[in-house]
Structure 1
Amino acid sequence: MGTERKRKVSLFDVVDETSVSAKSVKSNGAMSNINNGGSSLINRWNGKPYSQRYYDILEKRKNLPVWHQKEEFLQVLKKNQVIILVGETGSGKTTQIPQFVLEAVDLESLDKRRKMMIACTQPRRVAAMSVSRRVAEEMDVTIGEEVGYSIRFEDCSSARTVLKYLTDGMLLREAMTDPLLERYKVVILDEAHERTLSTDVLFGLLKEVLKNRPDLKLVEGGPSGRKIVVSTNIAETSLTIDVVLSLNDIRGIGAIGLQYYQMHPSLYGMSPSATVLYGSHAPGWHVPSDSKEAHKAADEAKARFGHIDGDHLTLLNVYHAYKQNNEDPSWCYENFVNHRALKAADNVRQQLVRIMARFNLKLCSTDFSSRDYYINIRKAILAGYFMQVAHLEHSGHYLTVKDNQVVHLHPSNCLDHKPEWVVYNEYVLTSRNYIRTVVDIRGEWLVDIAPHYYDLENFPQCEAKRVLEKLYRKREREREENRNRK
């Protein structure tokens, strides 16, 4: 890490292009001109002459605000391991920064037969695809060759790829087989403000990886007003950009999450709960808009699948019925169920089965007739979403754990009561703060499943903390009694 705490660079300071163009940066053993990405007429990435299209696009790239800060960015990148980059939307961060990085770093690996890569994460699959195609065009290379992308169910990259765009979730998946991300020289977390569970886990994982790989560089990008901020201290992340609550809070999530996955295959493997865990973000229901009668019929259909403990288990009931009815689209239509969402969820489940087979994990699940069947699924959901928990206060409203945001159960939920503790999938802001797709959990599970996160020393004062204190004391008494029996 660098010793400098923070630097501010305006994206809109005009730089003398004449002086900048005279400078060059050495990368991968070749000299590259700062302004044209190559000092010759030959494209260094594929060995072919540059097309006229390349030069036409290049002139437009030079007008982007971020282009004027290129030299300064490269100098900061050279001196520091972690950079936090904030700039206005449209400044060129997403397309230009990865290309700047490519010019500046040596991609040679210890194994001379393969080069290392630059990873640039995107919050959405469509963004990873579209941006990679744009950058491939700007670099005058073929998509899938020197520039590629990786999203769920589609890997458009090759052994020639030096810049890969991918979702946070796909980078986490790669970390399962490459824990130190040794194939990458630089990781760029673009649009990191669009925070998801995968983003939080990725931050925790990267913090550990950076400690063990001083050669790896991290660039984090997000939006701002009219300034770009370059920070060289990872501990400042939550202060410089409102992305995560606190890196200290999630310091072990990456490793712990993977360990839990391997320790409890019965909760994640063959159980269709995997469908709920990874598929419930997609809308599961068709909402008719034509008449009150249709709305009433849709509500009645949804009620037939309802589970007393929450939306996740209701969706699981839908999945069971979908499979029992041979995945029939007509059945989905008649029951106001989104066929596309269920088909995608089934694909995810099959993918998880393949992953478990690759890691030689036992494919098993609790018997459907067991009283623990739904309990284990609820515990599994909590194990994955332990940061997305809310507690019911005596005032009648919910507070999200740790950040103490007042929220309400979304009207679309299927609960007929207000549980003391719930896990939620989505935080929705409309006229009120809502949590959507919720499931009833028990407070003692928080103590058992995620004690690393529910460490009361760093917990804000609230009713939830007082309840957890009692639960921790109860667990300690039980341990003491067990020791005495022995």
Structure 2
Amino acid sequence: MAEAETPVAPDEQQLFMEGFDSDTEVDTEELHFGDELELNQFDGLPHSSRYYKLLAQRRTLAVWNVKDEFMESLRKSRIVILAGTANSGKSSQIPQWCAEYCLSAGFQHGTVVCTQVHRQNAVGLALRVADEMDVNIGHEVGYTVPLESCCTSETVLRYCTDDLLLREIMSDPLLEQYGVIIIDQAHERTVSTDILLGLLKDIGQQRPELRLVVIAASHMSSKLLTYFGEVPCINVNKKTQAEVVYGNNPPGDYFYRAVSLVFEIHSAKEEGDIVVFFASMQEANSAYDIVMQEAVNMSSNLGQLVPITLIPRQGIFLFRQTEEQEKKNATYLRRIFLTSSMGEDLIWATDNVKFVIDAGVETKNVYNTRIRANSLVTRPISKQQFEMRQQLASSPGKCFCLYPEDAKLSEQTPPEILETKFTSTVLLLKRMNIAGLGHCDFLDRPDPESLMQALEELDYLAALDDDGNLSEIGIIMSELPLDPQLAKALLASCEFDCVNEMLTIAAMLTAPSCFLQAPVGAEHEAHASHSKFHHPEGDHFTLINVYNAYKQNQYTNPEKWCADAFLCCFALQTADAIRSELTDILRRIELPISEPSFGTKGNTLNIKRALLSGYFMQIARDVDGSGNYFMLTHKHIAQLHPSSGYGSCAERLGHPEWVLFHEYTLSENNCIRTVSEISPEMFVQIAPQYFFCNLPTSESKELLQKILDELTVKEMSKILQPLGINTAEDEQENQPSDRCTIQ
């Protein structure tokens, strides 16, 4: 990944650093530095006065009390577990001490890398730690997150996301450039973190000099000790005196109570920021709109409300005034952080939270192996999540639980590896030559049915050979940071001469959705704006229209253009960066990139052929002409998502009979998203024969079989007629009922 010339935009850096400044006042005149300032051990320059101010603040952190114990454990043990409460300083101080450890050995065994679950945390921590170490960001301290790198050869401490470190193992199986590897936020139990732990457990046996530090919440220490055996486990507990206030609201009646409570706290004039945990980010966004509207009507004597939605994968930073700004501005500013369980670990960057409002439920996508799709499940949070949320409130503070004290909370949050589709992970592990997954010691082993489905799908996609190892296509697919189906579609576009357009589709599908939800009162205007981009051939083509329009306005005023079109500028910028990365990968592995020809009839057909090569498992048919789509793989009925371009013109043109869809989630709406019309003839020509044979019996399959039989007869006639043999009728009579086309 290319190194960034400018580590971070000035305005973003300011927002980050403002978010990390501590409220602790330190009188620099009382600090005694000696006759001469000490030299920084990492760059050899004298320390600045700010370094000593921050050092005094760091020494007040709870984790500082265990520094000697941690350094001694790091010297003597290959694996160290550090468990503790939120906001105790673990994520910022432990990596610095590990850098000191590697420095003491002259970096002969490597440097330090620290993983984070969210890119915001990786960037924010790197900025904060560079400030505390008194070095330049991008030099001694840096970060690597998807689509952005801020490191050099001088970097001795690097923050990165867990998925990127996992992909590094593909090119460096023993991670030999690192002397200490820190897995932070292990309690989040992401798939990447769990697999990293399993692989590093084995790598450590091959590299005795390597040190592994695992940082997690307190509740996970016993499980980690069982997993790693007799290793040092250091506990860091930050005392909290947050008062817990329980409610008696019935289940499901929490949203408006949470929003009302925000205004009640603000009206009470008790200072401090507020964090509100909703069930989903959709609820958090709705609450944002309400707070913005109501804040205008509130008395200016109460101060200003600043709502902030904390959304993973999006470029949102924590706004906070500097001391100088606070002196100039007499109006008190109270930040309202609105998030869900997805953003729990994004709250660490603020230290002024006094109030936590907890809905007590979460809505998550859980992969259902039976229907091969995600199910939207709303369930109670776990006891561990409750404890972590309670710890966020600075002392003295309050945690308002919008549920009774005797509410049935689950014991622990299920790990992601048990609730997610496993195909991408199996592809990655196969690339690492972990035969049968036996060499990866999972904290919690995946469901066997999920593993078998993943292997079956990879086989359908031609990613495996007859021995179950990666085929040549599978190896190339593993090079692409995409879902395997999307990777196969992109590779197929090389054959169908539509790579340029498929690069755009792949980037737009991988980036966050570019379509913004319309504010209250602007629904019609937003719908009209989005309709301008609709393409008659389907939503995949609509995405190309949006991207091309964005590129045309990229150098004028993209933020204003996106706002006027009700599009997310960050999402489109991300898609543009993903497209550039994918283009570089294709060039590196010497695959052809076609010239753009979007809009021609041949190009349209080729795009559909490429899409079908990856998504033939996601086909649906309108069974009654009214938009009730029957999905061939599991016989469920779904409707088109309201955002689909077909929905707006269905009354005029009707619904397409056969469609390919990108995503299906079993929920209240029960919709398929991002759909494009296909022909059944194209499907039977593209889909592998063994997949078609394995489809469950249905009327739709029978229709496809008839089309297949007719195509087969025509093909045989073309071969036999020049020989003077006419056996089309005999061929049709003797056609086996389960005959399928060859891929």
TM-score grouping bracket, smaller chain normalisation: 0.5 to 0.7
Residue number among 129, 133, 136 corresponding to 1:135 in the alignment? 129
Match of 2:214 in 1: 220
Report deviation, 1:288: 2.9
Q: Is the 8 A contact 1:58 1:138 kept in 2?
A: yes
Residue number among 130, 141, 146 corresponding to 1:147 in the alignment? 141
Opposite residue 245 of structure 1, the aligned amino acid is I
Residue number among 473, 476, 483 corresponding to 1:262 in the alignment? 476
Report deviation, 1:428: 12
Partner Cα distance (1:201, 1:145) in 2: 29
Report deviation, 1:219: 2.7
Match of 1:118 in 2: 112
Q: Is the 8 A contact 1:141 1:147 kept in 2?
A: yes
Residue 91 (structure 1) aligned with residue 88 (structure 2):
yes
Q: Is the 8 A contact 1:86 1:230 kept in 2?
A: no
Residue number among 297, 307, 326 corresponding to 2:528 in the alignment? 297
Match of 2:160 in 1: 166
Report deviation, 1:95: 0.2
Give the share of equivalent positions with the same residue, in percent: 29
Report deviation, 1:364: 7.3
Residue number among 55, 60, 65 corresponding to 1:63 in the alignment? 60
Which is worse superposed, 63-72 or 187-196? 187-196
Report deviation, 1:175: 3.7
Residue number among 510, 521, 544 corresponding to 1:319 in the alignment? 544
Q: Which has the higher contact order (CA 8 A, sep 6+)?
A: 1
Query: Structure 1 291/123 Cα, relative in aligned 2: closer, same or farther at 3 Å?
Result: same
Residue 358 (structure 1) aligned with residue 592 (structure 2):
no
Report deviation, 1:181: 1.8
Opposite residue 43 of structure 1, the aligned amino acid is N
Match of 1:187 in 2: 181
Name the SS for the 2:552 alignment partner.
Answer: coil
Report deviation, 1:118: 0.6
- C-alpha deviations, 1:61-99, integer Å up to 9, x for none? 122111222333334444544445432220111101112
Match of 2:10 in 1: none
Report deviation, 1:206: 4.4
- C-alpha deviations, 1:265-315, integer Å up to 9, x for none? 71598465455555444231133323343244256457x34877xxxxx25
Opposite residue 139 of structure 1, the aligned amino acid is M
Query: Structure 1 109/71 Cα, relative in aligned 2: closer, same or farther at 3 Å?
Result: closer
Residue 231 (structure 1) aligned with residue 224 (structure 2):
yes
Q: Is the 8 A contact 2:80 2:214 kept in 1?
A: yes
Match of 1:282 in 2: 512
Report deviation, 1:326: 5.8
Partner Cα distance (1:379, 1:203) in 2: 35
Name the SS for the 1:165 alignment partner.
Answer: strand
- C-alpha deviations, 1:204-237, integer Å up to 9, x for none? 6546644544433333333457x9669345579x
Partner Cα distance (2:536, 2:210) in 1: 48
Residue number among 66, 69, 89 corresponding to 1:72 in the alignment? 69
Partner Cα distance (2:201, 2:646) in 1: 38
Report deviation, 1:188: 1.6
Opposite residue 525 of structure 2, the aligned amino acid is A
Partner Cα distance (1:362, 1:120) in 2: 37
Query: Structure 1 100/351 Cα, relative in aligned 2: closer, same or farther at 3 Å?
Result: same
Alpha-carbon RMSD across the aligned residues, in angstroms, is 5.4
Match of 1:458 in 2: none
Name the SS for the 2:38 alignment partner.
Answer: coil
Match of 2:612 in 1: 375
Query: Structure 1 155/291 Cα, relative in aligned 2: closer, same or farther at 3 Å?
Result: closer
Report deviation, 1:164: 0.7
Largest Rg, 1 or 2: 2
Aligned length: 384
Match of 2:42 in 1: 45
Opposite residue 184 of structure 1, the aligned amino acid is Y
Report deviation, 1:436: 9.2
Opposite residue 349 of structure 1, the aligned amino acid is R
- C-alpha deviations, 1:16-50, integer Å up to 9, x for none? xxxxxxxxxxxxxxxxxxxx9xxx93332222333
Name the SS for the 1:369 alignment partner.
Answer: helix
Q: Is the 8 A contact 1:82 1:233 kept in 2?
A: no
- C-alpha deviations, 1:109-167, integer Å up to 9, x for none? 89x6xx72111122333322221121122222222222122234443222222101122
Name the SS for the 1:130 alignment partner.
Answer: helix
Which is worse superposed, 44-53 or 251-260? 251-260
Report deviation, 1:193: 4.6
Residue number among 334, 348, 354 corresponding to 2:578 in the alignment? 348
- How does the TM-score come out when normalised to structure 1? 0.59
Report deviation, 1:183: 0.8
Name the SS for the 1:288 alignment partner.
Answer: coil
Report deviation, 1:396: 7.6
Query: Structure 1 150/317 Cα, relative in aligned 2: closer, same or farther at 3 Å?
Result: same
Opposite residue 55 of structure 1, the aligned amino acid is Y
5+ unaligned residues in a row in structure 1: which ranges? Answer: 1-35, 309-313, 382-389, 398-407, 450-463, 465-480
5+ unaligned residues in a row in structure 2: which ranges? Answer: 1-32, 230-410, 433-469, 478-487, 596-601, 619-630, 648-654, 677-682, 696-737
Report deviation, 1:328: 3.8
Query: Structure 1 245/104 Cα, relative in aligned 2: closer, same or farther at 3 Å?
Result: same
Query: Structure 1 283/396 Cα, relative in aligned 2: closer, same or farther at 3 Å?
Result: closer
Opposite residue 378 of structure 1, the aligned amino acid is Y
Query: Structure 1 133/363 Cα, relative in aligned 2: closer, same or farther at 3 Å?
Result: same
Report deviation, 1:341: 2.6
Match of 2:397 in 1: none
Q: Is the 8 A contact 1:124 1:167 kept in 2?
A: yes
Match of 2:324 in 1: none
Opposite residue 571 of structure 2, the aligned amino acid is A
Name the SS for the 1:219 alignment partner.
Answer: strand
Name the SS for the 2:605 alignment partner.
Answer: coil
